[in-house]
Amino acid sequence: MALVVQKYGGSSVATPELIRKVAARVVARHRAGDQMVVVISAMGDTTDDLVTLAGRVSPKPVDREMDMLLASGERISMALLAMAIQDLGPRAVSMTGAQSGIITDAVHRNARVVALRPERVLAELGRGTIVVVAGFQGVTADGEETTLGRGGSNLTAVALAHALNADVCEMNTDVDGIFTADPRLVPEARQLAFVSPDEMLELASSGARVLQSRSVEFARNYGVVICVRSSFNQNPGTLIKETADMEKVVVRGIAHDVSDAKVTVRHVADRPGIAARLFGALAERNVNVDIILQNTSEAGAVDVSFTVKEGDLGKALETCQAIRQEIGATEVLADSEVAKVAVVGIGMRSHPGVAATAFAALADAGVNIEMISTSEIKIACVVRRADVERAVRALHQAFHLDQAT
Ligand code: ASP
Ligand code: MG
């Protein structure tokens, strides 16, 4: 008997029929002898629809009320799934984030898990009950409802898998697993059997949309093994786990992200403390900055460019404008026609020349590189958004990712 935490994404529970299918899948596993905790996302595009709805009522809704609103999406699906399971025979009970013991800090819309108290979940499992948990939400020690950031049902699943010491944390989704690149862009992309946690973290934060990066980080920190697989078949999927010969593969995959935007602050004074002031102000407003580029000084001034999520562009521009005179800048420019492509693989640590190969491939494809950032296991480039497909294909080919290793 294994203790299984399964998460189903929004597209897997988008309709009543799909909810009944998920119920049948869960019940089959339960009948085979496993203890089941099922973390569920909101149906289909419910969360997006709720965000839109709020925008039609209020131009700047308060984060606390947004959490009250958004948490309701997962509560609809948890109750419906519990009903569908009960109809098939087994005992089932649905629980909110609070009832399942997900305790968070008070940062609304992006709360962090601070404690896990899954006593009620454990008690129900002990009675042979299938426990259905509303993903994406928690509660503060003071009883305030919070949400865990977009894609946060993944984090709920990983956190519960850790707290319950589950045997496996399965992410059931609308794709078969993790691929060497997005198969919609690269038809010859291959599904990977294994991806290391470090690689998955870089892939997720570089735009691979299958897993929320915070959940990958949590899983890596606490040693939770994640399996990404399809809700619609029984294929084994991809395991996020270290294997012995991982470093033999130089590049595991290519990720891309078209949700970035670039800000350029022109003619900033070239003296100590300016970068601290600029990026300090952005941090204060909770704007996450990704890649930063500063050119060489000319006549005591430099241009500073950085990328942010497109959704944060408004806040980033406001912040820069507010301190523009103080840091001696002449103007602040925005560019949302950018995209990021990233080459990821832990084998890079011990294989030189990966950057050169990547840059040559982009050059041959006629793709101009606007910014570069690297880590030990990643090379990321900012390019024109119109070039992103060509860039991903060129990189996939240059590293022979279509060929099995
Ligand atoms: N429903 C939330 C979202 O769409 C959480 C999730 O699906 O994981 O972001
Ligand atoms: Mg969703």
Residue 207: is its pLDDT beyond 90? no
Task: Decide which of 244 and 390 is more confident.
Answer: 390
Choice from 52, 81, 136 to test ligand 1 binding pocket (greatest atom count within 8 A of CB)? 136
State the average pLDDT over residues 371-388: 96
pLDDT of 367 above 70: yes
143 class by beta-carbon count within 10 Å (0-12 exposed, 13-18 middle, 19+ buried) = exposed
Whole-angstrom Cα distance, residue 180 to residue 297? 40
Q: What angle do CA 396, 400, 402 make, to 5 degrees?
A: 75
pLDDT at 249: 86
pLDDT tens track for 307-351: 999 999 999 999 999 999 999 999 999 999 999 999 999 999 989
158-182 as b/e: b if 16+ CB within 10 A: bbbbbbbebebbbbbbebbbbbbbb
Taking only the tens place, the pLDDT of each residue in 266-288 is 999 999 999 999 999 999 998 99
Strand, coil or helix: 8:
strand
Share of the chain above pLDDT 70, in %: 100
Chain centroid to CA 288: how far?
Answer: 14
CA-based Rg of the chain, rounded to a whole angstrom? 23
Alpha carbon 102 to its chain centroid, in Å, reads: 19
Strands 102-104 and 168-173, sheet pairing: unpaired
pLDDT value for 246: 79
Q: What is the mean pLDDT of the chain?
A: 96
pLDDT-derived band at 167 (thresholds 50, 70, 90) equals very high
* Model pLDDT, residue 21: 98
- The whole-number pLDDT of residue 209 equals 83
Strands (E), 320-377: 331-335, 338-344, 371-375
CB 305 within 8 A of CB 293: yes
> What's the pLDDT tens digit per position in 16-63?
999 999 999 999 999 999 999 999 999 999 999 999 999 999 999 999
User: What's residue 405's pLDDT?
Assistant: 65
Instruction: Give pLDDT, residue 208.
Output: 86
Instruction: Please report, for residues 153, 165, 234, 258, 261, the alpha-carbon distance to residue 159 in angstroms, rounded to integers and kept in the order given.
Output: 10, 10, 24, 29, 31
CA distance 159 to 153: 10
> In which residue are the tokens 């862009």 written?
185
Share of the chain above pLDDT 90, in %: 93
Considering every ligand atom shown, identify the ligand nearest to the alpha carbon of residue 147 and give its number: 1
Q: Is 42's C-beta closer than 6 angstroms to any atom of ligand 1?
A: yes
pLDDT at 297 over 90: no
Give the distance (Å) from ligand 1 centre to CA of residue 247.
33
According to the model, what pLDDT value does residue 404 have?
75
Amino acid at 251: V
pTM: 0.90
pLDDT at 210: 87
Element (H, E) at 160: helix 153-163
What is the whole-number distance in angstroms between the Cα of residue 52 and the centre of ligand 2?
A: 14
39: closest CA among 200, 152, 176, 177? 152
Is 10 close to ligand 1, i.e. is its CB under 6 Å away?
yes
Best mutation site among 153, 169, 173, 212 for ligand 1 pocket (most ligand atoms within 8 Å of CB)? 153
**Which ligand is nearest the CA of 137, by number?**
1
Q: What is the model's pLDDT at position 243?
A: 87
Place of tokens 């990643």: 378
Sign of CA dihedral 38, 43, 44, 50: negative
Specify the residue with its C-alpha closest to ligand 1, atom 9: 150
153 lines ligand 1 (CB under 6 A): yes
Q: What is the pLDDT of residues 88-139, one digit of tens each?
A: 999 999 999 999 999 999 999 999 999 999 999 999 999 999 999 999 999 9
In angstroms, what is the span from residue 297 Cα to ligand 1's centroid? 44
Q: What is the DSSP string of 110-152?
A: SPPEEEE-THHHHHHHHTTPEEEEETTEEEETTS-EEE-STTT
* Domains annotated on the chain, with CATH: 3-174 (3.40.1160.10), 253-257+338-398 (3.30.70.260), 260-335 (3.30.70.260)
Residues having C-beta closer than 5 Å to ion ligand 2? 10, 41, 47
**Out of 39-48, 87-96, 210-219, 392-401, which region has the weakest mean confidence (pLDDT)?**
210-219
Nearest CA to ligand 1 atom 5: 151
